[in-house]
Structure 1
Amino acid sequence: MTDNNQTSKENIFTLFKDAILGKQEDFTQGSIKKAVFMLSIPMILEMLMESIFALVDIVYVSRVSVNAVATVGLTESVLTLVYAVAIGLSMAATAMVARRIGEKDPKKASETAVQVIFLGILISVVISIIGILYPREILELMGGEPKLIEEGYGYTRILLGGNITVMLLFLINAIFRGAGNASIAMWTLIVSNGLNIILDPIFIFGLGPVPAYGVEGAAIATTTGRGVAVVIQLLVLFFGSGKIKIALQSLKLQVALIFEIIKVSLGGIGQFIIGTSSWVFLMRIMSEFGSEVLAGYTIAIRIMLFTLMPAWGMSNAAATLVGQNLGAKQPERAEKSVWITSKYCAYFMGSVSVIYIIFAPTFLGWFSNSEEVITNGALCLQVMAAGYIAYAYGMVVIQSFNGSGDTKTPTLINFVCFWLFQLPFAYVMAIVLDFGPKGVFWAITVAEVLIAIIGIWLFKKGKWKTVKV
């Protein structure tokens, strides 16, 4: 029976139900299209939950003030450095757990999970201390105006101080994804997102005995929602029936394994520090044009995340399939999984790009009444949407390198495309040649197209198939 026939005879509704309920599957055998579907659905829904998180916050915060929206943008830019570490470690977690699952060794997969969590806790404590002690200085460094800093430093303090919820949420979900248990990650984020939606208006605007905290309330709601999700994740790891199960006796440091995780994750951490620090510098350039432009840019990015996150979900599915199939010594199946996933992702992103290009001003109007905010935000959305198909291929291919354990190649690609090209190009276009915010928008889009071209070229060379983790 061919791959196409096998997949077409499956009942789509049944497959969808199995995917979201987390039915255990061996993704190293059978239909690749079915494997992509079973992994992608919960991962897409998981990423949608993350993007809804961002949109809900910005909807409520936009009713507070323009400075409040700008504060969220500046703080999130700094928080992306936390994401860089978390995602870098999560790449190692996904690659190593997936490889052990592919080798049919769940005990070693669980041991890896414990050491990843230990590392995440240690790093987050250091970041918390900095965020709690220096929130004003952080916003000032990012170019925030004095009035913005006084209004928003509490938001920055809470989000950075409580970054352990972000760190562990990323890492434990990466563990689940590597094991193929993507639905668990999805359900924990549904609970977390539901709490955030309920708590946001209560803490921002006040209700009964709860005072109105303004933008600071958004940070309280977000941190609480994520914290609850982390507790659920830990309960599943200790008491659940999935492929990864942690016993009390496994809660001990394994120095050799920790160094192995660090070795694999260094490339991933470097990769995302390059990407996210680039984003921080772009925000710094944008801050030169005032709070209204910065607010429009921030809102546009939040809207973009709503569709970038599903694409990220598909790319995570590809990473899991690569890791598990390399563990099962099936590199050709791993490669085929990547091209199938890339095609589906490109169809999705291409469709979305048309919608964004046509309706960008309408979408921005949902979040702000300021003409300058809407104009700049809509332009940002339209320019970036022009490169969406390239985004699709770039995201899937880059994550596939990471899924194989080859985090060095994407790091090199990011260094060239972000630091050597995007930042200088953005500065020259926006400041030197006086194109303003438009210069930054085009720099982002062209850099992403370049990433896709270089990524596909290197992926086809096939060196990732020989990586050992």
Structure 2
Amino acid sequence: MASPMIIGISASMGFILADTYFIGELGSAELAALGFVGPIIMIIISASIGLSAGTSSVLARASGKDDHTEMVRLATNSFILSVIISLIFTVVGLLTIDPLFTLLGADEVTLPLIREYMEVWYWSPIFMIVPMVAMGVMRALGDTSLQGKLMIIASMANVILDPIMIFGLFGFPRMEMAGAALATLITRAGTLAAVIYYLTYRFHVLKITKEVISHFGDSYRKIIHVGLPAMGTNMIIPMAGSVLIAIVARYGNDAVAGVNLASRIESVTIIAFYALSAVIGPFVGQNLGAQRHDRIEQALKQCAMFTLIFGAVLAAFIAVIGPYITMQFGDDVAIQQVANHYLYIVPVSYGAYGFVMTANATFNGIGKPLPGVVVSTLRVAIFQFPLVLLASLVFGELNYLIAASSISNILAGIIAYYWVMKTVRQLAPDTPEGTLKQSPAE
């Protein structure tokens, strides 16, 4: 299930890097502006991931029980719910551009660039959240290959449109920052049209009828039971990123641009963890619905082993090639130095962070999302914030702030492992903790 997701997410992250590359060609101020908007965009993306997780969790359990009527109600009403939430983000976002980014530390150089980008980008939540939820439906039904293909096509289209609209090629006007946002909006609109078609005519779960909509309240409660905490879990991370950027802004625009560049490179390198967390929830939900508790624990043990081994290999690999990558995103040595320091320090914790994502997705999959909220809150509010503030006030150097993030990942990973394994071992009915029953077939 994860293999097609890796390909699709790789393509999506690739166009994020392409955005960074082309905007970096405009100048360091534009790259710094992108650093400020990045965490805010990730908050909305994270909200869509959380809503998608809620939909996927309840739908996977209905799929495990082979209840098609319930699947149609959940899929259709989650679609309507995602439209409503998208419009709220658009309205609130457009009304708060200047005060929000001023609060985050944007100055008279970066604020106009941020406004230029976000006045266009804030029209895209409906084209982002709705497809994300629809893809959660597809995953719950066991199909990840189609999602991977859609993500690849959208990413290729975005990479093609980016230079055309940013630099004004082939007769198009030069739009610079606004052009990058418009390219993203257009490609995501195409994705929305595609998922509506597939949910309606391939999966047959999108049916906007009076009977289905009459169950909106019931579907809403089921989805939000997991979706709202999952949204909170996912939104905590970019919110913390916004606070981190506000602190980093004290070190200048080059520091903001460097951390943003490293974060975007990071998002590409940990794609396997994103893919794993995207599919473990539906996997757990389907097996829970089918009463196959033994497979859930076995899968989690394998996931833990994978994240630790792959994370260690990844950290060593990035330490070697990191400087060569950062050189491709502009000629500003100060920005490159900040990015390189980040890529030396934070990847050490990738294995632990990968399992945090897996554990949180598992909690969502079994319909118990609150532990995931607690783990993520511990990671950013109890570990990261105090350590970052201590590093900033006592040590002063930016590298200590970066190290604080790495330490918080490791601590959260340890807690997540013990908590999720204990929770899973308690799932099997009439079975002592730690001794799950095997099915007769095994």
Contact 2:127 2:185 in 1 (8 A): yes
> Which aligned pairs between 1:418-457 and structure 2 lie closer than 5 A?
418-430=380-392, 432-457=393-418
CA distance in 1, matches of 2:28, 2:116: 16
Name the SS for the 1:412 alignment partner. Answer: helix
1:75 and 2:75 aligned: no
Could you tell me which residue of structure 2 aligns to residue 367 of structure 1?
329
> Which aligned pairs between 1:92-107 and structure 2 lie closer than 5 A?
92-107=54-69
> Which aligned pairs between 1:264-343 and structure 2 lie closer than 5 A?
264-343=226-305
Q: Please tell me the residue identity of whatever aligns with 1:97.
A: L
CA distance in 1, matches of 2:73, 2:114: 41
CA distance in 1, matches of 2:46, 2:276: 19
Q: Please tell me the residue identity of whatever aligns with 2:47.
A: V
Distance apart, 1:147 and its partner CA: 1.6
CA distance in 2, matches of 1:71, 1:156: 10
> Which aligned pairs between 1:10-409 and structure 2 lie closer than 5 A?
39-240=1-202, 242=203, 245-249=205-209, 252-253=213-214, 254-409=216-371
Contact 1:128 1:163 in 2 (8 A): yes
Distance apart, 1:138 and its partner CA: 2.8
Distance apart, 1:248 and its partner CA: 4.0
CA distance in 1, matches of 2:12, 2:243: 24
The 1:104–1:203 alpha-carbon spacing in structure 2 relative to 1, beyond 3 Å, is same
**Where has structure 1 moved over 6 Å in runs of 4 or more?**
none
Name the SS for the 1:54 alignment partner. Answer: helix
The 1:45–1:464 alpha-carbon spacing in structure 2 relative to 1, beyond 3 Å, is farther
Distance apart, 1:455 and its partner CA: 0.6
CA distance in 1, matches of 2:269, 2:16: 12
CA distance in 1, matches of 2:185, 2:61: 32
Q: 1:104-157, CA deviations, whole angstroms, 9 ceiling, x for partnerless residues?
A: 123312211111111111111111112233323332122111121112312112
Distance apart, 1:463 and its partner CA: 5.3
TM-score, L = length of structure 1: 0.87
CA distance in 1, matches of 2:188, 2:152: 10
Q: Please tell me the residue identity of whatever aligns with 1:50.
A: S
CA distance in 2, matches of 1:274, 1:302: 18
TM-score, L = length of structure 2: 0.92
Contact 1:406 1:467 in 2 (8 A): no
Q: Please tell me the residue identity of whatever aligns with 1:227.
A: A
Structure 2 residue runs of 5 or longer lacking an equivalent are 430-442
Distance apart, 1:196 and its partner CA: 0.2
- More moved, 55-64 vs 264-273: 264-273
Q: Please tell me the residue identity of whatever aligns with 2:22.
A: Y
Equivalent residue in structure 2 for 1:458, among 416, 419, 424: 419
- More moved, 163-172 vs 222-231: 163-172
- State how many pairs are aligned: 427
Could you tell me which residue of structure 1 aligns to residue 432 of structure 2?
none
Q: Please tell me the residue identity of whatever aligns with 1:245.
A: V
Name the SS for the 2:368 alignment partner. Answer: coil
The 1:280–1:225 alpha-carbon spacing in structure 2 relative to 1, beyond 3 Å, is same
CA distance in 1, matches of 2:252, 2:278: 36
- More moved, 385-394 vs 290-299: 385-394
Distance apart, 1:286 and its partner CA: 1.0
CA distance in 2, matches of 1:198, 1:100: 40
Contact 1:405 1:467 in 2 (8 A): no
Could you tell me which residue of structure 2 aligns to residue 24 of structure 1?
none
Name the SS for the 1:292 alignment partner. Answer: helix
Contact 1:331 1:465 in 2 (8 A): no
Structure 1 residue runs of 5 or longer lacking an equivalent are 1-38
